């Protein structure tokens, strides 16, 4: 009788999870449509459809959809998914449900190299900021791994977090000093640092998508190992999982995901923190399912923030990072207050 009741309860939870996942997909599809339609100039859904199936280069509305709205919408989804998965993996690595990608110094490293690149080269094109940011994220993460002892000792996520905090403080101080002493650098840097998708085109989406795709593949590849290590390194070793190898691959995934997303849109907070918490309420703590679900949820949250930013201050825009913080902070506080933080 008891096993039958257990199977019934498991089936009920599975059906509930499927319904929630279907709802997420429906909401996400609706947000994509709204994102292409809404902006400083509203474009009717029929016009959007015709611009896709029968593109007319002489119609400025079709050009707006193809050159601005579509790449922007896709970039928001890709960046949101990257931040959600990076947050999920980071929480698994540290066994801390309040961890987020910035703990590895990714944001601080990206900002430091972007500011340095502007000061040295005086570039203004966002495509160059992309490469500066990605280089900074990779260098900062490499430095954190070296200082955290991951290259010479048994991998220790706590040591990595402490090293990441120290590197972030030092790089943050360096960036602030640079901006205070070079006002022209600040004028250009602040538009990237604000965290916006305005003006992002296919040229940005292409290289970012490649890096994020590699990070997603790595994150999915280590998802089962993260499940094994959730109860501790000793339990993982008993199951044949190498903690050091898993943490190294997971850390590389975080660098690719968070570094590319920060490069494309600047630092964006709360997405990588909030999406995994919501995801656990949908599919539970299994990282095989949690990683893709967190990607969908994060993409939806960030796309909602980007849409809201376009309409609340017409004809101007409010940066997506500001709106995502306004959305993510109350959601995060509500999740924490309603119940205990979900176990990893």
Per-residue pLDDT of the chain (344 residues; tens, 9 = 90+): 445 555 565 667 677 778 888 899 999 999 999 999 988 788 888 888 888 888 888 888 888 888 888 999 999 999 999 999 999 998 888 777 777 877 778 888 988 998 888 888 877 666 777 788 888 888 888 888 788 766 565 556 677 778 888 898 999 899 989 888 887 778 778 777 777 788 777 888 888 899 899 999 999 999 999 998 887 777 778 888 888 888 889 888 988 898 888 888 888 888 888 899 889 888 888 999 999 999 999 999 999 999 998 888 777 788 888 888 887 777 767 766 765 555 55
Both 45 and 186 in one domain: the answer is no
Other CB atoms within 10 A of residue 175 CB:
23
Under 8 Å between Cβ of 305 and 323: yes
Residue 104's domain spans which residues?
Answer: 76-338
**What's residue 152's pLDDT?**
60
Both 158 and 225 in one domain: the answer is yes
Whether 33 is in a domain gets the answer: yes
Both 203 and 89 in one domain: the answer is yes
List all residues 6 or more positions away from 316 whose beta carbon is below 8 Å from its beta carbon: none
Both 132 and 166 in one domain: the answer is yes
Whether 43 is in a domain gets the answer: yes
Whether 65 is in a domain gets the answer: no
**What's residue 124's pLDDT?**
67
Whether 217 is in a domain gets the answer: yes
Beta strands per DSSP E along the chain: none
Both 47 and 82 in one domain: the answer is no
Both 108 and 22 in one domain: the answer is no
Both 263 and 167 in one domain: the answer is yes
Q: Tell me whether residue 156 is exposed, middle or buried, using C-beta atoms within 10 angstroms of its C-beta: 0 to 12, 13 to 18, 19 or more.
A: middle
Domain count, the chain: 2
Both 39 and 99 in one domain: the answer is no
Both 151 and 208 in one domain: the answer is yes
C-alpha dist (Å) from residue 103 to 27, 81, 86, 316? 31, 18, 11, 33
**What's residue 75's pLDDT?**
94
**What's residue 1's pLDDT?**
44
CATH of residue 127: 1.10.3470.10
**What's residue 2's pLDDT?**
45
Whether 344 is in a domain gets the answer: no
Whether 37 is in a domain gets the answer: yes
**256 HSE (CA, 13 A, CB side):** 22
Tokens of 130: 């992309």
Both 93 and 24 in one domain: the answer is no
Long-range contacts of 187-192 (CB under 8 A, 24+ apart): 188/118, 188/124, 189/111, 189/114, 189/115, 189/118, 192/114, 192/126, 192/129, 192/133, 192/266
Biggest CA pair distance of the chain: 74
Q: What is the pTM of this model?
A: 0.87
Tokens of 270: 């709360």
Both 238 and 146 in one domain: the answer is yes
Both 179 and 319 in one domain: the answer is yes
Whether 70 is in a domain gets the answer: no
DSSP letter at 105 equals T
Whether 66 is in a domain gets the answer: no
């Amino acid at each position: 009788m008891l096993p039958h009741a257990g199977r019934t309860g498991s089936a009920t939870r599975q059906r509930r999870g499927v319904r929630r996942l279907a709802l997420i997909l429906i909401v996400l599809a609706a947000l994509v449509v709204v994102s292409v339609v809404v902006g400083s100039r509203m474009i009717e859904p029929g016009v959007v459809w015709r611009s896709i199936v029968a593109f007319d280069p002489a119609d400025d509305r079709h050009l707006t959809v193809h050159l601005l709205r579509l790449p922007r919408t896709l970039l928001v989804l890709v960046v949101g998914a990257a931040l959600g998965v990076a947050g999920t993996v980071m929480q698994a690595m540290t066994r801390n449900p309040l961890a987020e990608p910035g703990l590895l110094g990714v944001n601080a490293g990206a900002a430091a190299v972007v500011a340095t690149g502007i000061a040295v080269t005086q570039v203004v094109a966002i495509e160059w900021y992309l490469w500066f940011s990605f280089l900074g994220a990779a260098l900062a993460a490499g430095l954190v791994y070296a200082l955290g002892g991951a290259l010479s000792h048994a991998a220790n996520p706590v040591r990595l977090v402490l090293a990441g905090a120290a590197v972030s403080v030092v790089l943050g101080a360096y960036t602030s000093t640079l901006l205070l002493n070079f006002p022209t650098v600040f004028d250009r840097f602040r538009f990237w640092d604000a965290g916006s998708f305005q003006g992002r085109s296919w040229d940005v989406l292409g290289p970012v998508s490649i890096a994020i795709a590699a990070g997603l593949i790595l994150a999915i590849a280590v998802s089962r190992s993260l499940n094994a290590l959730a109860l501790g390194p000793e339990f993982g070793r008993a199951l044949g999982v190498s903690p050091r190898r898993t943490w190294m691959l997971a850390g590389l995934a975080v660098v690719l995901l968070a570094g590319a997303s920060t490069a494309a849109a600047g630092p964006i907070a709360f997405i990588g923190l909030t999406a995994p918490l919501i995801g656990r309420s949908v599919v539970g703590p299994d990282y095989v399912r949690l990683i893709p679900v967190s990607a969908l949820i994060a993409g939806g949250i960030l796309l909602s923030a980007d849409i809201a930013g376009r309409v609340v201050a017409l004809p101007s825009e409010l940066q997506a990072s500001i709106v995502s913080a306004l959305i993510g902070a109350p959601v995060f506080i509500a999740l924490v207050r309603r119940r205990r933080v979900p176990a990893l």
